[in-house]
Structure 1
Amino acid sequence: MSSLTVYHQSSPEAPNKLLNQAEDIASTLAAVGVQFTQLPVAVPVQAGSAVEEVIAACRGQLDQLMSEQGFASFDVLSQRTEPRYQHGPRTSLPTAQRYGVAHLHYCLAGRGLLCLHIDDYVYALLCEKNDLVLLPAATLHWFDTGEQPRVTLLRLFDSAQLPLAEPADDALVASIAGLDDCLTAATPY
């Protein structure tokens, strides 16, 4: 189930709000210019599928989204690792970034944690299959796939060529609970 946790940047250890109803998530994100909706994946794909397989399976929906929304380029993130027997400390953190163009995240399989740093708040959205998130240009964000990634994600961009992400230094990346923390915490994730 998708969920949204909202943190004030002055207290990233204590969430201000935890939402798990799609309507509540959509209205909270809309207030900061981000669109959230859900669109059933027409042809199921597996997390970690080859990029070519993902594109072939979703070609119809991909073309429809691109024409309806005016997107001109896309890429695919498809990762899956097998569970490990021992969990050690996290060895790397996601990188905060922004794009100069609007872009859409469409979760096709698995899950990931999309964090948005907007004004004084961080919006940590647990994205699952069927979630669409439209980010305005220049939105500071990071996407956490966890220590054992299991996700397939389409990203559609409002530019003819795939844009380069502008890395950003955001100290909050290390302060906000990551995907693995969310999944093991006693919260309703």
Structure 2
Amino acid sequence: MSDLTVYLESDARRPELRTADPALMAAHLAHIGILFERWNADTPLPASADANAVLDAYAVPIGRLKDARRFCTADVVRVTLQTEGVASLRAKFLNEHTHDEDEARFFVEGAGAFYIHLDNRVFRVVCEAGDLLSIPAGTPHWFDMGATPCFTTIRFFGRPDGWSATPTGDTIAARFPFFGPDTAQAA
């Protein structure tokens, strides 16, 4: 289930807010410049679906977002336990970092958690199929796909070569709960 949990950056044990209401999530995140929307993600995709099949299945909403937010390209990331190097892939995004352009993802299948560090708070956004999240350029954040990842996302880019992560050097991510079946709803 999609979920927003807000913590003081100094206390990962006691959330200030927790909600699974998509309208409240969107409104609360909008106050810090984060776009959260619910899209229709009911197109069934076989396990064998490649990136082109995923992009074709969601061509209309992809086109709308690209036009509205001036993204020039999109790609697909599909991660399962069978993905080669899944543990190192997870570790790559578990440290706080920024990007020099917006990071936008639409979850087609599965789930993952974004942790956004702004205004002396950490906003954990658990995204699932149907969730679109866009984090503005320069916003400190990290992503946890969980110890047993299973998700497909469409990523959007403003440059043809995509973006790269710039580590902030802050160790804050180590103080917050990991994403997973036992931690998605409990902190």
**TM bin (shorter chain):** 0.7 to 0.9
Query: Which residue in the other structure is 1:122 paired with?
Result: 122
Structure-2 residue corresponding to 1:13: 13
1:4-83 equivalences under 5 Å are 4-41=4-41, 43-45=43-45, 49-81=49-81
Q: Larger deviation: 7-16 or 40-49? A: 40-49
Question: Which residue of 2 is the match for residue 184 of structure 1?
Answer: 182
Per-residue deviation, 1:23: 1.2
Percent identical across equivalent pairs?
27
The alpha-carbon distance between structure 1 residues 98 and 91, as it changes in their structure 2 partners (threshold 3 A), is closer
For residues 106-149 of structure 1, the C-alpha deviation after alignment (integer angstroms, 9 at most, x for no partner) is 11110001111112011001101111112111111111111110
How big is the shift at 1:14? 1.9
* 1:155-174 mapped onto 2 (5 Å cutoff): 155-174=155-174
Q: Could you say which residue in structure 1 is the equivalent of 2:142? A: 142
Is 1:48–1:79's contact at 8 Å kept on the other side of the alignment? no
TM-score (norm 2): 0.84
| Shift in Å, 1:43 | 2.8
In the TM superposition, residue 166 of structure 1 has moved relative to its aligned partner by 1.4
Runs of at least 5 residues in structure 1 that lack an aligned partner in the other structure: 83-89
Cα distance in structure 2, aligned partners of 1:102 and 1:26: 17
Matching of residue 106 in structure 1 with residue 97 in structure 2: no
Q: In the alignment, is the contact (CA less than 8 A) between 2:107 and 2:131 conserved in 1?
A: yes
Deviation at 1:53, TM superposition (A): 3.3
Task: Note closer, same or farther for the CA distance 1:44–1:35 as it changes in structure 2 (3 Å cut).
Answer: same
How far is the alpha carbon of 1:186 from its aligned partner? 9.1
Structure 2: distance between partners of 1:178 and 1:155? 22
SS in 2 for 1:179: coil
Shift of 1:27: 1.2
1:165 alignment partner AA: A
Q: Does the 8 A contact of 2:6 with 2:124 survive in 1?
A: yes
Count of residue pairs the alignment pairs up:
180
- Once residues 119 and 45 of structure 2 are traced to their aligned partners in structure 1, the CA distance between those partners, rounded to angstroms, is 36
- Report if the CA contact (8 A) 1:48-1:152 is conserved: no
Instruction: State which drifts further: 34-43 or 103-112.
Output: 34-43
* Matching residue's letter, 1:169: G
Is the alpha carbon distance of 1:91 and 1:72 closer, same or farther for their aligned partners in structure 2, counting shifts above 3 Å?
A: closer
Shift of 1:184: 1.4
Backbone CA RMSD of aligned residues: 2.6
Deviations 1:6-56 (A, max 9, x none): 111111222111111011111111111111111112633367854343233
